[in-house]
Structure 1
């Protein structure tokens, strides 16, 4: 179901009742989708993939970037060297 911002504001309770019953509401601004209101118990695409076993969380945290190396000159000069 797609509704405009004004419609959402004017009939918020009705639209939240729709979401409560399991429907997804897409909010539009001048015809362009800007937000989606989904039931809390609905899984995100990533959560669904995790549940299916297609993806898993990282086993290690991302390593910090190394300290920059001080250098003089441009990147092109460094590459030439």
Structure 2
């Protein structure tokens, strides 16, 4: 939305409400863009990361493709337990150290 300075002064509250709702407001002076009003809430962590340099935006657009599917005979819980070095029986509460079932 473009709005002139005079109109902005007359309808400031409603213009700010529209900006807060996510609409970009361009304030013009004598027909030329002077200021852009945007909601603070519209910038998220992604925008902050790109601005601060810890996220690199994509260099091309389009689909990222399909994820490869992997099949395994192992349960995900067993894989995670192996990775973490845990005993699955203790994690599930069925091991020798489990005293919750002896009540």
Structure 1 unaligned segments of length 5 or more: list them: 56-81
TM-score for the superposition, normalised by structure 2: 0.45
Post-superposition shift, 1:42? 2.5
RMSD: 2.6
State whether structure 2 residue 36 is matched by structure 1 residue 36. yes
TM-score for the superposition, normalised by structure 1: 0.56
Match of 1:17 in 2: 17
Length, aligned pairs only: 54
Post-superposition shift, 1:13? 0.7
Distance 2:43 2:17 in 1: 19
Residues 12 and 6 (structure 1 numbering): CA distance in 2 closer, same or farther, change over 3 Å?
A: same
Post-superposition shift, 1:21? 1.0
Distance 1:13 1:31 in 2: 22
